[in-house]
């Protein structure tokens, strides 16, 4: 009897000690590192995502006019890497702040889009079904709350789970986000630490939804998620560098599915190329075409609160003399017209939805895909700073639509005019 009591006491003490040890680690990490930063992957525990033997390298031919515009526009903007790829050719590539083409950059929530692609592959392989309840793959959740069986994999993909989670603020070491980002045992937080806030179906951005997908992928593939990423995407896409994926601890090694893939700018661009090509890489179907088709247009994504299968879209705007001009522009450029608003100066701001869409990360990580222009843009760095335009405006309006040509320095335009006049003589 005494031996039994001792065992119960020892087990209880062990559980309490483990809890407080993790809590202490979370508090330490929160205090030591504060808010999320682009250098976090340097201190976080990590695992390797192995590349294959056949590297795919984009062709390169610099667009000098675009380069002139972007070199000036990106200076001092907190950008570490910026790539523009048009028709499979790198037309602009520049690194700042001591980064170069071999540097690994953290992606934050861009990682969510990679996870979505893995879910699509796993479904094609018959390992899961997006319409199935998550309890099909994590039955232990039923012991916590039977309502977990109302949440499907699709709900997780579209941020509609209803799981209780505090996305912000990060600095409180006991909020949901802090426990995921700074905690040392993510897996247990998913399988034994979740509660339900509301019925599934309403969009509410929750990083925990993607982390649950990570645990499900680990369960159904019977391999670490980073291994599955390596086998299904990193090697087949011809990534040029090994990536890393931040994990909760060296002991547990659960990847931070919601934020932790760290790679080169060029390798991030290959995710954009994969979706631009309908899930194919050099003629080989990597991600099922039907899966990509759900998010191969910003118009399709816009019908789902602007977010679907871990990809984002957004509306765009331009200024016109009349409302009719705005509608005509949208029609001529295959853009879905949304609305106009008359300005005090008499002109009209026209809002419309294009086909472009993005994988986005906090602080301004972008993998931007523009099917109409066959353009991919990758931007990696810290919080965007620029007095002239927002980052999304720069990427869509000036890069995607070529408006930079209207903003080239006057001295450069003058020099070109002089050169043309000399040629005529």
Predicted structure pTM score:
0.88
* Structure confidence at residue 22 (pLDDT): 52
* Domain 2-53+106-293 in CATH 3.40.710.10: yes
Phi, psi of 138 (to 5 degrees): -130, 70
pLDDT band at 24 (very low <50, low <70, confident <90, very high): low
Q: Tell me how far apart the terminal alpha carbons of the chain are, to the nearest angstrom.
A: 108
Mean pLDDT of the chain: 89
3-state helix, strand, coil in the chain (%, to 5): 40, 20, 40
Summarised one tens digit per residue, pLDDT across range 238-256 is 999 999 999 999 999 999 9
329 CB neighbour count, 10 Å cutoff: 15
Q: How far apart are CA 172 and CA 93, in angstroms?
A: 38
> What is the distance between the alpha carbons of residues 418 and 288, in angstroms, rounded to a whole number?
53
> For residues 273 and 241, is the Cβ–Cβ distance under 8 A?
no
Say whether pLDDT at 82 is over 60.
yes
Q: Is the pLDDT of residue 153 over 60?
A: yes
Instruction: Give the confidence band of 410 by pLDDT, cuts at 50, 70, 90.
Output: low
Whether residue 405 is predicted with pLDDT greater than 90 in this model: the reply is no
Q: Is the pLDDT of residue 26 over 90?
A: no
Q: Please tell me whether residue 353 adopts helix, strand or coil conformation.
A: strand
In tens, the pLDDT along 362-400 reads: 999 999 999 999 999 999 999 999 988 999 999 999 999
Res 34: pLDDT: 61
Whether pLDDT at 188 is above 60:
yes
* Edge-to-edge order in the sheet of strand 307-308: 59-60, 89-95, 79-86, 375-381, 365-370, 357-361, 311-312, 307-308
Write 163-170 long-range contacts (CB < 8 A, 24+). 163/194, 163/195, 163/196, 163/197, 163/206, 163/208, 163/209, 163/212, 164/194, 164/195, 164/196, 164/197, 165/197, 165/206, 165/207, 165/208, 167/205, 167/206, 167/207, 170/30, 170/35, 170/36
What pLDDT is stored for residue 83 in this prediction? 98
Q: List every span in the chain annotated with CATH 3.40.710.10.
A: 2-53+106-293
Number of H helices, E strands in the chain: 15, 17
> Distance of alpha carbon 378 from its chain centroid, rounded?
11
Average pLDDT on 289-296 reads 97
Tens digit of pLDDT for each residue in 86-115? Answer: 999 999 999 999 999 999 999 999 999 999
Instruction: At 99, give phi and psi (nearest 5°).
Output: -90, 155
Tell me how far apart the alpha carbons of residues 129 and 122 are, in angstroms, rounded to a whole number.
Answer: 8
Q: What is the pLDDT of residues 298-316, one digit of tens each?
A: 999 998 989 999 999 988 9
Higher-scoring residue by pLDDT: 401, 146: 146
- At 168 the pLDDT is 76
């Amino acid at each position: 009897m005494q031996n039994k009591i001792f065992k119960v006491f020892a087990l209880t003490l062990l559980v309490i000690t483990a809890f407080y040890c993790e809590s202490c680690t979370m508090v330490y990490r929160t205090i030591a590192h504060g808010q999320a930063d682009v250098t976090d992957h340097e201190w976080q525990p990590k695992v390797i995502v192995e590349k294959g033997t056949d590297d795919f390298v984009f062709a390169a031919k610099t667009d000098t006019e675009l380069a002139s515009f972007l070199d000036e526009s990106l200076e001092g903007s907190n950008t570490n890497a910026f790539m523009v790829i048009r028709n499979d050719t790198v037309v602009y590539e520049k690194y700042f702040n001591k980064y170069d083409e071999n540097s690994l950059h953290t992606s934050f929530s861009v990682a969510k889009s990679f996870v979505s692609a893995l879910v699509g592959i796993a479904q094609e392989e018959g390992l899961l079904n997006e319409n199935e309840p998550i309890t099909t793959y994590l039955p232990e959740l039923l012991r916590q709350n039977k309502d977990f069986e109302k949440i499907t994999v699709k709900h997780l993909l579209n941020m509609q789970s209803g799981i209780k989670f505090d996305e912000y603020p990060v600095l409180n070491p006991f909020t949901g986000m802090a426990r995921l980002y700074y905690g040392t045992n993510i897996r247990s937080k998913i399988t034994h630490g979740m509660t339900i806030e509301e019925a599934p179906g309403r969009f509410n951005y929750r990083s925990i939804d993607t982390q649950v997908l990570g645990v499900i992928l680990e369960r159904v593939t019977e391999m670490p998620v980073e291994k599955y990423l390596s086998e299904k995407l990193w090697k087949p896409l011809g990534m040029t560098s090994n990536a890393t994926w931040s994990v909760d601890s060296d002991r547990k090694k659960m990847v931070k599915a919601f934020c932790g893939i760290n790679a080169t700018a060029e390798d991030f661009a290959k995710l954009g190329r994969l979706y631009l090509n309908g899930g194919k890489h050099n003629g080989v179907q990597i991600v099922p075409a039907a899966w990509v088709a759900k998010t191969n247009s910003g118009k399709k994504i816009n019908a789902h609160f602007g977010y679907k299968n871990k990809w984002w879209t957004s509306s765009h705007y331009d200024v016109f003399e009349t409302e009719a001009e705005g509608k005509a522009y949208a029609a001529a450029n295959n853009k879905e017209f949304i609305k106009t608003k008359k300005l005090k100066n008499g002109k009209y701001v026209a809002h419309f939805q294009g086909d472009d869409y993005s994988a986005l990360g906090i602080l301004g990580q972008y993998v931007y895909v523009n099917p109409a222009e066959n353009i991919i843009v990758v931007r990696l760095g810290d919080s965007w700073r620029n007095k002239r335009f927002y980052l999304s405006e720069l990427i869509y309006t000036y890069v995607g639509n070529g408006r930079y040509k209207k903003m080239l320095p006057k001295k450069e335009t003058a020099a070109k005019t002089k050169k043309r006049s000399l040629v005529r003589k």
